[in-house]
Amino acid sequence: MERETRAPELSAHDWKILKTLQQDGRLSNSELAKRVGLSPSACWNHTRRLFETKVIRCVRALIDPKMVDRETAVLVGIVLDRSTKAVFEEFAEAARTLPQVLECYLVAGEIDYFLKIRVRDISAFNRFHSEKILSLPGVRQVRTFFVLDEIKTDGELPL
Amino acid sequence: MERETRAPELSAHDWKILKTLQQDGRLSNSELAKRVGLSPSACWNHTRRLFETKVIRCVRALIDPKMVDRETAVLVGIVLDRSTKAVFEEFAEAARTLPQVLECYLVAGEIDYFLKIRVRDISAFNRFHSEKILSLPGVRQVRTFFVLDEIKTDGELPL
DNA sequence: AATTTATCAGAATGTCCTTCCGGAATAGTC
DNA sequence: GACTATTCCGGAAGGACATTCTGATAAATT
């Protein structure tokens, strides 16, 4: 386990760039420069460093799930059988691999793992549930929470 | 309540553009055109339509929370007191407004709302918990799950 | 077959990206 | 205080790109 790098120092310009690109990642460099009050070349250097130092992990188009037939979201809490390291790692690896799993967290409390699943409809979730989740080794309990309404998704990091 | 529009028809080119921009939303139009096998002008028209019809909701820079001092993630399950419409709407509105709430879902089951919170550290969560969550009207029970490890975050929609 | 519609590639122009360079400001050293 | 090293900025420049328009081709419709 190695220590993660922390941002060395972020200038006021860097923060502005982060805020702006978080809201619209497709802004041109010249437009970005105007908004943060820098010359295009200076702005370019800042932005490049933010990518190189991995402060910005990536830029991603957010697609409306309704439009591409992935309307159904389900939150799933998992309790594992035995709390051995191998069991946990095997589960985590499966979650990483399955494309229907959009998020997966190891948590403290009455639950071991929380998953956010996205599929076409409820019957697709049923298939996923029985074929993928239940067939994983070490799964003792599965608590399923169907999402009735998405109040907020993909909220921006407060900066 | 009005019916949401569904994507009328997505061509093979559209799907390719969606997949590509989901992986790298900052690609130039000419590079995107090369990758999907279209002329720049045709690619431009497709992309523009995908934005106009809101298939692509936005393009967003994903910022590493560790780098900007928002390292601590917490999942919170909420059970509300009385299940009146007004109570639910008030809670949802508060969740929408609070910047620390990155995601909020109304779910079916033993829990009413699930929240994903991001703050600087545990003491910041304590403050948020007592000052924001507990002070909301109608909150009967709060179940807190501290995130110990983020196996997968911001997974791409499978296309 | 004729007409309409949709979709593509090409051309053209104005803008932008990207790099490189030199100057100003800051900090550190003696 | 002077000198150096470092950092950061803006300007210039050519090559690439964005964006629009037009016409051609193919598909769908009548």
- Contact, A141 vs A79, CB < 8 A? yes
Distance B17 CA to C27 C1' (A): 49
Q: Hey, are the CB atoms on A56 and B57 less than 8 Å from each other?
A: no
Q: Which CATH number, 3.30.70.920, 2.40.37.10, 2.60.40.10, 3.30.465.10, labels domain A65-146?
A: 3.30.70.920
Give the pLDDT mean for B120-136. 95
Please check whether strand C approaches the CB of A28 to within 7 Å.
yes
Give the fold, CATH level 3, of B12-52.
Arc Repressor Mutant, subunit A (1.10.10)
Total residues found in chain A within this entry: 159
Question: Please, which contacts does B120-128 make with residues 24 or more away whose CB atoms are closer than 8 Å?
Answer: B120/B69, B120/B70, B120/B71, B120/B72, B121/B71, B121/B72, B122/B72, B122/B146, B124/B72, B125/B72, B125/B74, B128/B100
- Contact, B109 vs A144, CB < 8 A? yes
Rounded to a whole number, what is the distance in Å from the CA of B16 to chain A's nearest CA? 13
Tokens of B65: 């929370």
Q: Count how many Cα atoms sit within 13 Å of the Cα of residue B46 in the half-sphere of its side chain.
A: 24
pTM of the model: 0.90
- pLDDT tens readout for residues A83-93: 788 889 999 99
* Extents of the domains making up chain A: 12-52, 65-146
pLDDT above 60: residue B110: yes
Identify all chain A residues contacting B25, using CB atoms and an 8 Å cutoff: 25-26, 58-61
- Contact, B4 vs B148, CB < 8 A? no
- pLDDT tens readout for residues B58-81: 999 999 999 999 999 999 999 998
